[in-house]
Structure 1
């Protein structure tokens, strides 16, 4: 199957068997991609819940261990073969960016910042991923792409400075921008690797590859961070492990392979706005006045970059990703 890649034009995407989809495999590509976006939109509220019961390092370690156990079970059940050595550097990028870096830095940020604020900043992820994908592929996007990407970054920077009362970037913002950068590299490399492996195996092998780090992190954190057993903490941790770090990627990659990267990425424009809704409904947060306009501004910039990317061969649209 072919899809418009954000950095290399039309290319095949490995679809493979349904893998651990069960009855979800019968859904159409659009429905699966939309389910992936919906799944990822709950990640920040789930992290906020998990932090009610566990420390940030414990959350990062345990969600990685549980996701790796689930992914490893699926790999064994489907008889998946270990990827060739040529795929290991890309899998390492997925592991570092998606299984360790983004979960840790975003969790640290959510200890210091609201879910709504974080959702607006991470709304830049599609732009960052497309830019990284273009640079990695040596593509030359049109000027409109870079202008829109710069405008989107400016909107988020203005929002963060306004939220800090003019004091500049906070520690939470630095964590979020670090998470954004690492995740963009992980998504871009995962998108490149999806040419050769079924998408669900990309994230599955990624979280399995990260298991030594996440297991050590979780073991050490449990001895130093306090644990408060409560339903919010356990529910949030279970969601992060089963959905945010594995299951959501399964339907997202599968849907993206079925309908193509550009159509799937259009659906992902709703993710930051959905997260703002869940911040109000699930966490009873009060949205900053500038949150919705800033999120809409970022969405508008992403739309421009995608249209600009489709205007020239090899220009970026959106790499494989999730949340």
Structure 2
């Protein structure tokens, strides 16, 4: 990690994309690879649920990711965070490491990955709103108008897809958005004080006691049977999505900057829709790609709106 990483927020929310510096190809490749890893999170979770129950899946995911993070932190001899930061880490753990995986995994028990991808595509806007409140900044009216428009697109999409009312899966996904946005915002504050991958690594390590307990209970109480899809899905979501994807993402953002990396992340919901068709055989309704593009446009507007 370079010293630049310490200035990288946990999520790429930029409201002014006027940086004209040349973009290093290696940084773009690293950030793009991170986005590619993230886009496979929901399909790999769906695969994992073929072998494991939702609680076992989340617990094992956290445990494997924490072991990988522990190796990286140990090899780098990264010191423990100061006690003054523990409250912030608790928010990151609750929102990003536990809340979001648990709620999205429960949602994917009944919702399709394409449906979840559209709803969670609202996450950058939700995080931007949390960040504005947390930092007491005043985004422009154009920013808030675009954010509300994106939220309206998602609400209309979910209601239409659920037959006129929100389903339990939709409630899980919306709750996941709120918790993850809060965790991302607090993680952004912490990553201004230490390298971003340190924030991710220590947040995962702090989950080990809970992950061990959850895995033991889950594997005891939930039925499970190993399949190729199930094992591959679990290993991917634990290693690539939960830790390595974030590691590559941070390295890429450190090289090319937050604003430029943000543009790459706009492709994530559309990539997830593609994987849902290629890997899971889902049939997309016309509303799914249209809603995803609508949210993408709203995110572009928020990123270009000045505070």
What TM-score results when the alignment is normalised by the length of structure 1? 0.87
| Alignment match, 1:165 | 163
Native 8 Å contact 1:7 1:134 kept in 2:
no
The answer to whether residue 247 in structure 2 is matched with residue 265 in structure 1 is: no
Native 8 Å contact 2:97 2:204 kept in 1:
yes
Distance, in Å, in 1 between the alignment partners of 2:304 and 2:30 is 23
Q: Which is bigger in relative contact order (C-alpha 8 A, separation at least 6)?
A: 2
Q: 2:246 aligns with which of 245, 249, 253?
A: 249
The answer to whether residue 279 in structure 2 is matched with residue 282 in structure 1 is: yes
Residue 177 of structure 1 deviates from its aligned partner by: 0.6
Distance, in Å, in 1 between the alignment partners of 2:84 and 2:278 is 45
Structure 1 unmatched ranges of 5 or more: 10-25, 316-323
Residue 199 of structure 1 deviates from its aligned partner by: 1.5
Residue 224 of structure 1 deviates from its aligned partner by: 0.6
Residue 27 of structure 1 deviates from its aligned partner by: 7.1
Structure 2 unmatched ranges of 5 or more: 17-23
Q: Secondary structure of the equivalent of 2:193?
A: coil
Q: Secondary structure of the equivalent of 2:144?
A: helix
Residue 83 of structure 1 deviates from its aligned partner by: 1.1
What TM-score results when the alignment is normalised by the length of structure 2? 0.92
| Alignment match, 1:76 | 74
Deviates more, 1:245-254 or 1:292-301: 245-254
The answer to whether residue 292 in structure 2 is matched with residue 305 in structure 1 is: no
Native 8 Å contact 2:8 2:188 kept in 1:
no
- Map 1:153-302 onto structure 2 (within 5 A): 153-166=151-164, 168-302=165-299
Q: Secondary structure of the equivalent of 2:108?
A: helix
Distance, in Å, in 2 between the alignment partners of 1:263 and 1:8 is 11
Native 8 Å contact 1:8 1:139 kept in 2:
no
Residue 257 of structure 1 deviates from its aligned partner by: 2.0
Distance, in Å, in 1 between the alignment partners of 2:13 and 2:54 is 33
Native 8 Å contact 1:7 1:139 kept in 2:
no
> How many residues get paired?
294
Q: Aligned in 2, Cα 1:177/1:42: closer, same or farther, shift over 3 Å?
A: same
- Map 1:55-74 onto structure 2 (within 5 A): 55-74=53-72
